[in-house]
Amino acid sequence: MSSSSPVLPSEIEAILNRGDLIAAVAQDHQTKEVLMVAWMNREALNLTLATSRVTYWSRSRNELWEKGLTSGHTQRLISLSYDCDGDAVLLMVDQSGAACHTGERTCFHRGIELEK
Amino acid sequence: MSSSSPVLPSEIEAILNRGDLIAAVAQDHQTKEVLMVAWMNREALNLTLATSRVTYWSRSRNELWEKGLTSGHTQRLISLSYDCDGDAVLLMVDQSGAACHTGERTCFHRGIELEK
């Protein structure tokens, strides 16, 4: 990774500076399938931008989590955009294997029936 | 809307029962473009499922927010899926006009340059 952290947009800085996490949506850059939603703190976001290896912040384990480091199901970052209020980022990724720990391609593999 | 609330998956119930909100990702059902990320409580999720008019919970205003009710930029729900740990839903929507309050089609209209 680089020796200095990237300059983040002010909207994202505002969220991080108040101690909140950023919601991160990972989308397959080819199929456009939404693969998962996870969370990033400043270090996770900076590492992801610096290395192109997508790294999240695990809220359950309270630690950085480089996607695929143990499973091999890595996410290579292709591009990153952020939303108008800076509390969410959209990651276009090259996903190796399954994004979901269940072995499914996407974490969103179950639906709820609409009432009409 | 129906007289009774739909039965939600146990994973989502667990999140709602501890007072947390569900992250909601809206995706254009035709172009697959990710339009926005917002939040749902139980009432927002139930209303969305019952009426197919996407309704969020506004964290800043602390109130239900039926998307497009004032702007006309409504979201009609086509299908809804949920992720493996039940703290996020993916909404496939028919978006009228702009999803973003800035007038852009998507809230994710700005990017961050990768370092390499």
Reported as a single tens digit per residue, the pLDDT across B55-84 is: 999 999 999 999 999 999 999 999 999 999
Task: Closest CB to B83: pick one of A2, A6, A36.
Answer: A36
Is the pLDDT higher at A40 or at B114?
Answer: A40
pLDDT band at B52 (very low <50, low <70, confident <90, very high): very high
pTM score of the predicted model: 0.94
**φ, ψ for residue B70 (rounded to 5)?**
-100, -35
Complex ipTM value: 0.94
Instruction: Please tell me if residue B112 touches chain A, with a CB cutoff of 8 Å.
Output: yes
Q: Mean pLDDT over residues A1-18, rounded?
A: 82
CA distances to A12, A42, B5, B10, B104 from B99, in Å:
20, 27, 27, 30, 7
Is the pLDDT higher at B96 or at B1?
Answer: B96
Instruction: Please tell me if residue B109 touches chain A, with a CB cutoff of 8 Å.
Output: yes
Q: Give every CB contact of residue B42 below 8 A, 6+ residues apart in sequence.
A: B5, B8, B16
Task: Closest CB to A83: pick one of B27, B85, B108.
Answer: B108
Q: What tokens were used for A15?
A: 């969220």
pLDDT band at B96 (very low <50, low <70, confident <90, very high): very high
pLDDT band at B114 (very low <50, low <70, confident <90, very high): confident
pLDDT band at B116 (very low <50, low <70, confident <90, very high): low
Look-up of token digits 């969305």 = B48
What domains are there in chain B, each with its CATH number? 10-95 (3.10.20.810)
Whether residues A112 and B49 touch (CB distance < 8 A) is answered with yes
- Alpha carbon B41 to its chain centroid, in Å, reads 10
Portion of chain A with pLDDT greater than 70, in percent: 94
